[in-house]
Amino acid sequence: MLNTPSLTTIEKFILEQESKFPEATGELSNLLYDIALAAKIIAAAIRRAGLVDILGGLGARNVQGEEQQKLDVFANETIKNCLKHTGRVCAMASEEDEDIIPIPPEYPAGKYAVLYDPLDGSSNIDVNAAVGTIFSVYRRVSMEGRGTVADVLQPGCKQVAAGYAMYGSSTMLVYTTGQGVHGFTLDPTIGEFLLSHPRIVTPRVGIYYSVNESNFGRWSKGIQTAVRGLKGERPDRLKPKNSRYAGSLVADFHRNLIAGGIFLYPADTKNPQGKLRLLYEASPMAFLAEQAGGSATDGVNRILDIVPRSLHQRTPLVIGSREDVGFVADTLREVAERQSGPIPTPAL
């Protein structure tokens, strides 16, 4: 007779976590399953992406005669379709949509607001490299009815859950509800996310630094000095690190989370506010980083304390192993002080 292995599915794990909070209604748990389902559907589409040239490219029609969608459009629609009818969500916001996404009038509105980047790093699709979906969940602040912009414009410290799906050599779902960070790997043979990385703790000091160094000439003096330090110019303060940059935040963040490291996307003369989006990229990753023992800053402020003013606001981002992020923040302050006098130390 075959033995049934004792596997922890994402459902079992979320239920066990929920049972620690007697007041929990199960709505957040169900919302996380909804997101996990969307991730499975997106993962299945990405697995077939390389076949597009064989089966028909963009603008081609599939066997039902429907036009094939670009994968980022597909991912965006998939998440909307997995969440809009559930009665758990009052509003959504997506990196792909200019405005807040209302819940259609035929469906009930719920108590959570969900923000997401449906396919982060999508330029990687063309070269068969890892991409991801990032999500962030807030409790609504409006009292009733359809959600409003105020429900999605909240500082990261108000998140009740955040995470990402990474579509790499395997598909993973990594999330936090403020009780540590947990990672699940999709077993494609049974279509289930199985607990593979319980309670992820990121090393205090990392071995990698990840930054697009082609921007070096466009950075501030402070960032240039800090990155030189990460490479080994400050052996008194920091062991030299190895460089790794995938150009996909999810892939770079995930590697650094597990192995230890720091990711930077600073402001530069081309992107004076930074390139990454506060609500869809920086805040959810900052929640995960802090829950795993790391930290995240825009160089001066803790990312989770930044109060957003607009849906697509950008921010510089320095995120990862706590001591490495501290090194960069210290260096930025030292260089700024040399240029203009003493600056108060921010809390990280």
Residues at the interface with ligand AFP (CB under 6 A): 120-123, 212, 247-249, 252, 275-276
We find the least distance from the C-beta atom of residue 122 to ligand AFP, in angstroms, to be 4
User: How far apart, in whole angstroms, are the C-alpha atoms of residue 52 and residue 318?
Assistant: 36
H or E element, residue 174: strand 171-176
| Integer CA distances (angstroms), 138 to 60, 81, 106, 119, in order | 38, 19, 23, 20
Q: Would you say 122 or 142 has its CB closer to ligand AFP?
A: 122
Q: Is 324 helix (H, G, I), strand (E, B) or coil?
A: helix
Q: Would you say 180 or 247 has its CB closer to ligand AFP?
A: 247
Q: Would you say 120 or 290 has its CB closer to ligand AFP?
A: 120
Task: Work out the angle at residue 281's Cα, subtended by the Cα atoms of residues 277 and 285, and round it to the nearest 5 degrees.
Answer: 140
We find the least distance from the C-beta atom of residue 266 to ligand AFP, in angstroms, to be 11
We find the least distance from the C-beta atom of residue 165 to ligand AFP, in angstroms, to be 14
Q: Would you say 87 or 247 has its CB closer to ligand AFP?
A: 247
User: How far apart, in whole angstroms, are the C-alpha atoms of residue 175 and residue 172?
Assistant: 10
Contacts 24+ apart (CB under 8 A), 229-235: 229/327, 229/328, 229/331, 230/262, 230/324, 230/327, 230/328, 234/327, 234/331
User: How far apart, in whole angstroms, are the C-alpha atoms of residue 44 and residue 310?
Assistant: 33
Q: Would you say 19 or 243 has its CB closer to ligand AFP?
A: 243
Place of tokens 């304390």: 305
Q: Would you say 22 or 217 has its CB closer to ligand AFP?
A: 217
Ramachandran region of residue 341, left (φ > 0), alpha (ψ -120 to 50) or beta? left
User: How far apart, in whole angstroms, are the C-alpha atoms of residue 308 and residue 282?
Assistant: 11
Q: Would you say 129 or 141 has its CB closer to ligand AFP?
A: 129
Phi, psi (degrees; rounded to nearest 5) at 35: -70, -40
Q: Would you say 223 or 249 has its CB closer to ligand AFP?
A: 249
We find the least distance from the C-beta atom of residue 263 to ligand AFP, in angstroms, to be 7
Amino acid at 58: L
In this structure, what DSSP letter does residue 9 have? B
We find the least distance from the C-beta atom of residue 268 to ligand AFP, in angstroms, to be 9
Place of tokens 């998440």: 79
We find the least distance from the C-beta atom of residue 249 to ligand AFP, in angstroms, to be 3
We find the least distance from the C-beta atom of residue 315 to ligand AFP, in angstroms, to be 12
We find the least distance from the C-beta atom of residue 284 to ligand AFP, in angstroms, to be 12
